[in-house]
Amino acid sequence: MESNSATRISGDEMPKHNMNRRRFIEVQALTGAGLLMAPKLASANAGLELKPTGLIGGLKQVEGESLIEGGTWYEAETKGQGFEYRFEKGALKNASWLMADFLVSGLYLTVFELRLREGEDGPSFVLRYKGLNQAGARIRLPLESVNQNRWRLEREGAWLKPLCSGDRVDLEQVDRMRLTVAIKTDDPVRFIQTSFFAMNEEPPRLDKPALPKGVLLDEMGQSTIHQWPAKTKSVDELSQRLTDQLKRSSAAQWPDGFSAWGGWAANPSKPSHAPGFFRTHHDGKRWYLVDPDGFLFWSAGLDCVRASIGANCGGLEAALRWKPEPPGEYQKAFSAESADYLSANFIRVFGADSWYDKWASITLSEMKAIGFNTVGNWSQWEIARKARFPYVIPMGSGWKRSRMVYRDFPDVYHSDFELDAADYAGQLDPLKDDPSMIGYFLMNEPTWGFSKEPPAVGMLFNTPECESRKELAKFLGERYADSSTLAKSWELDVDFNRIARGEWKTRLTETARKDLVDFSELMVERYFTMLSDHCRKVDPNHLNLGIRYAGVPPEWTLRGMRNFDVFSANSYTEKVPFDASKKISTMLNLPVMIGEWHFGALDVGLPASGIGRVATQKERGAAYRYYLEDAAANPYCVGVHWFTMYDQSAMGRFDGENYNIGFFDVCNRPYEELAAAARIAHERIYDLAAGTKKPFDEPPTYLTKIY
């Protein structure tokens, strides 16, 4: 939503010339908010320069050393402040890229929103992105993205997590652009911004970014520009901590009353049957899981239990004080695009030959000491299997034959898709007899689920020919007697052949969209049914845990989800939405599991808190108890898994996330207040599930999210 405080750009501020393209460039070069120079480009053709025609909401141009060629300093005191750009309709139609350089000062994350719009009230394409603080960055937006064919673009250097949303737009109709500060902390944001350039050729990557503060990570992977009391001061301090953790690792135990699998051993009404594998169970009042020995089980999980905190440093090597390099003992902590400081810290202390086994011992013992009974998604689950510690796994797609028809949605009506589904299910064969494994997630947050459009709409606009489009034409042929009836209902010049193949650019009517939602329901049902059936053929022993949908799914997805054993979603809310969990569980006759949730703060040297935000580490503990204890008392919920075990790198992971979301930092220092609160909550989960205790009801103060 655009800020109500934005300054309206009046018609009097618009160029009134009937300009050709050359004249338009000349006028733009002389007007706008300040004279900006073009950054040096590999190509002699810098393309169309887009300069602001106005500042929005009180954004201020401020003085400062020019750290980026062609850049100007600005200060935003509130979100919604930014720039307005106006240009001739269709000025971007022949361009392939938008490019600009920027740099964000300060210590904490700022989210920017770039919006391309057709006219005053027309559809608008939205790109959200962030910048690594104190590092120059380059925006390189491929303009084909306005077709909404991708959700996430690749992180490049200090340009972090660019995400596409909003509407599909027609570049022939786009005549304006807006760049605003979308999310920020309470402090003013100072940043440098250059002009944008609309280019036909791909602009070069930024290979030598400005680093006004110099090195951003120390040799242990900690931020150099932040200071906080718990920061590890030396390698000696690190070594003492890890050595002490290893010494006490053999003594860790789950809370009293837990079974050997972390189930409810103290349950006075234990089910009589020991299934040998994890199962779902409804006792007439609520849902549970059941562990292999037959004890009721509620899953308190921790995601990303792995010996890795990757700092993506491609193009940012100069921002590192030290990077592990091959050959030598730090080989396992090196890759071309990232440095893994967590594993490097363990190698420093325990050596290249034994560090991993000692990490595994420390990690599982720390999890037990806190009371976690599940190794969650994206973990090095082999250590859990070896220790007979309950775990889940993610399934990898890796389709060998199927093409995608929209984002990551495959051509499910193509004959090769069933072959891919069979290969996909084969991943389970080596694990099918392991009782420690609770189950598998088919996928995580499919990117087609982030779109405003269902898959059939995205397919129509982005895939000129595929088997699913042919099936769509057949589906419509059964719904409408002939092409003229279809055209009349859709209020478009359309026939079945045009539906089945060919480029599609025509805007859809409401009736057309409804038909495409109905077909999307069939696409999703076929997708999930085929994957689920093949998985059960290979592995009849373990639970199909669903797809970890991002939030509450639309109803047209639910029919396909009846193939699961557990409905899973990621829910970054203050607590699990009770009404939604009840509705979904009742409709599907399945229990609900939360695959991701977390809360972070800005008091321990990370640029961002995470999705949920509170003020301090103590408040993180209160947020943990409030969420988990409410979930344990929810009769439709059988578990919640915190994302993640470790903080992300201050430099940002592969896509740029750099959040305080861990139970441990990069030097394996635990967040004691969070861990203590979690232990209390975990000790109470079975009493909460049985209704003999009431959930914790003292939530923290939740702060504005900055992600």
Q: What is the pLDDT of residues 471-497, one digit of tens each?
A: 999 999 999 999 999 999 999 999 999
Please enumerate in sequence order all residues whose Cβ is within 8 A of that of 514, keeping only pairs 6 or more positions apart, or say none: none
Please enumerate in sequence order all residues whose Cβ is within 8 A of that of 287, keeping only pairs 6 or more positions apart, or say none: 280, 281, 585, 591, 592, 635, 636, 637, 638
DSSP letters, 154-200, are PPBTTEEEEEEEE----TTT--EEEEEEEE--SS-EEEEE--EEEES
Q: Six-digit token pair at 165?
A: 């949303």
CB count, 10 Å around CB of 345? 27
Residue 272 binned pLDDT confidence (cut-offs 50, 70, 90): low
423's enclosing H/E stretch is helix 415-425
CA 568 to chain centre: 16
- Tell me: do 249 and 356 sit in the same domain: yes
If you search the block for the tokens 């920017």, which residue do you land on?
112
- Tell me: do 65 and 93 sit in the same domain: yes
* pLDDT tens digits, 109-125: 999 999 999 999 999 99
- Tell me: do 556 and 675 sit in the same domain: yes
Please enumerate in sequence order all residues whose Cβ is within 8 A of that of 500, keeping only pairs 6 or more positions apart, or say none: 469, 470, 472, 473
* pLDDT tens digits, 396-440: 888 899 999 999 999 999 999 999 999 999 999 999 999 999 999
Q: State percent of the chain over pLDDT 90.
A: 89
- Tell me: do 367 and 505 sit in the same domain: no
DSSP designation for 118:
S
CA distances from 103 to 98, 158, 251, 443, 483 (A): 17, 9, 49, 35, 54
How many domains does the structure of the chain reveal? 3
pLDDT above 60: residue 38: no
Lowest mean pLDDT among 62-66, 272-276, 457-461: 272-276
The predicted pLDDT at position 271 comes to: 66
- Tell me: do 565 and 651 sit in the same domain: yes
Q: Six-digit token pair at 301?
A: 């999980």
Q: Six-digit token pair at 50?
A: 């887009």
Mean pLDDT calculated for residue range 434-460? 97
If you search the block for the tokens 């199927």, which residue do you land on?
402
* pLDDT tens digits, 463-472: 999 999 999 9
pLDDT above 60: residue 139: yes
Q: Six-digit token pair at 271?
A: 């089910």
- Tell me: do 510 and 412 sit in the same domain: yes
Residue 707 binned pLDDT confidence (cut-offs 50, 70, 90): confident
Single out the residue in 538, 557, 586 at which a domain terminates.
Answer: 538
Mean pLDDT calculated for residue range 334-343? 92
Mean pLDDT calculated for residue range 17-44? 33
Residue 335 identity (one-letter amino acid): S
pLDDT above 50: residue 44: no
**CA Rg value for the chain:** 27
Contact 88, 66 (CB under 8 A): no
Residue 113 located in a structural domain = yes
Angstrom distance (rounded) from CA 20 to CA 28:
12
Outline where DSSP puts E strands in 434-544.
437-441, 543-544
The predicted pLDDT at position 4 comes to: 31
pLDDT above 50: residue 536: yes
Contact 160, 138 (CB under 8 A): no
Mean pLDDT calculated for residue range 568-586? 97
Residue 398 located in a structural domain = no
- Tell me: do 167 and 53 sit in the same domain: yes
The predicted pLDDT at position 35 comes to: 27
- Tell me: do 194 and 329 sit in the same domain: no
Residue 223 located in a structural domain = no
Q: Six-digit token pair at 80?
A: 């919604």
CA distances from 593 to 288, 292, 447, 543 (A): 10, 19, 20, 12
Single out the residue in 516, 538, 560 at which a domain terminates.
Answer: 538
Q: Which residue has the higher pLDDT, 27 or 686?
A: 686
- Tell me: do 100 and 137 sit in the same domain: yes
Residue 233 located in a structural domain = no
Which residue, 216, 233, 299, is CA-closest to 263? Answer: 299
Please enumerate in sequence order all residues whose Cβ is within 8 A of that of 506, keeping only pairs 6 or more positions apart, or say none: 492, 493, 494
Angstrom distance (rounded) from CA 399 to CA 416:
10
Residue 142 located in a structural domain = yes
Angstrom distance (rounded) from CA 382 to CA 377:
12
Which residue, 596, 604, 595, is CA-closest to 660? Answer: 604
Please enumerate in sequence order all residues whose Cβ is within 8 A of that of 237, keeping only pairs 6 or more positions apart, or say none: none
- Tell me: do 249 and 362 sit in the same domain: yes
Please give the backbone phi and psi of residue 427, each rounded to the nearest 5 degrees, phi first: -60, -25
Angstrom distance (rounded) from CA 270 to CA 373:
18
If you search the block for the tokens 């609520």, which residue do you land on?
286
Q: State percent of the chain over pLDDT 70.
A: 93
- Virtual torsion, Cα 37, 39, 44, 47, nearest 10 deg: -70
Buried/exposed code over 248-287 (b: 16+ C-beta within 10 A; e: otherwise): ebeeeebbeebbebbbbbebeebeeeeeebbbbbeeeebb
DSSP designation for 322:
-
111's enclosing H/E stretch is strand 111-117
* pLDDT tens digits, 651-678: 999 999 999 999 999 999 999 999 999 9
pLDDT above 50: residue 29: no
Angstrom distance (rounded) from CA 691 to CA 697:
15
Residue 269 located in a structural domain = yes
85's enclosing H/E stretch is strand 82-86
- How large is the greatest C-alpha to C-alpha distance in the chain, in angstroms? 84
For residue 478, give its domain range.
404-538
Residue 705 located in a structural domain = no
Residue 40 binned pLDDT confidence (cut-offs 50, 70, 90): very low
DSSP designation for 575:
S
Contact 372, 301 (CB under 8 A): yes
| CATH classification of the domain holding 171 | 2.60.120.260
| CATH classification of the domain holding 352 | 3.20.20.80
Angstrom distance (rounded) from CA 640 to CA 644:
12
Residue 40 located in a structural domain = yes
Using CB atoms within 10 Å of the CB of residue 441, give its burial: 0 to 12 exposed, 13 to 18 middle, 19+ buried: buried
pLDDT above 50: residue 16: no
Contact 255, 265 (CB under 8 A): no
Residue 642 binned pLDDT confidence (cut-offs 50, 70, 90): very high
Contact 637, 631 (CB under 8 A): yes
- Tell me: do 447 and 344 sit in the same domain: no
Single out the residue in 510, 538, 566 at which a domain terminates.
Answer: 538
If you search the block for the tokens 């009769």, which residue do you land on?
635
Please enumerate in sequence order all residues whose Cβ is within 8 A of that of 115, keeping only pairs 6 or more positions apart, or say none: 2, 124, 125, 126, 127, 166, 177, 178, 179, 180
Angstrom distance (rounded) from CA 180 to CA 3:
9
- Tell me: do 560 and 530 sit in the same domain: no
pLDDT above 50: residue 37: no
DSSP designation for 306:
S
Helices (H), 226-379: 235-247, 341-350, 355-370
Residue 46 binned pLDDT confidence (cut-offs 50, 70, 90): low
Q: Beta strand pairing status for 60-61 and 72-76?
A: antiparallel
The predicted pLDDT at position 83 comes to: 98
Angstrom distance (rounded) from CA 227 to CA 401:
51
Predicted TM-score (pTM) of this structure: 0.92
The predicted pLDDT at position 17 comes to: 31
pLDDT above 90: residue 19: no
Residue 693 identity (one-letter amino acid): K
Angstrom distance (rounded) from CA 254 to CA 263:
10
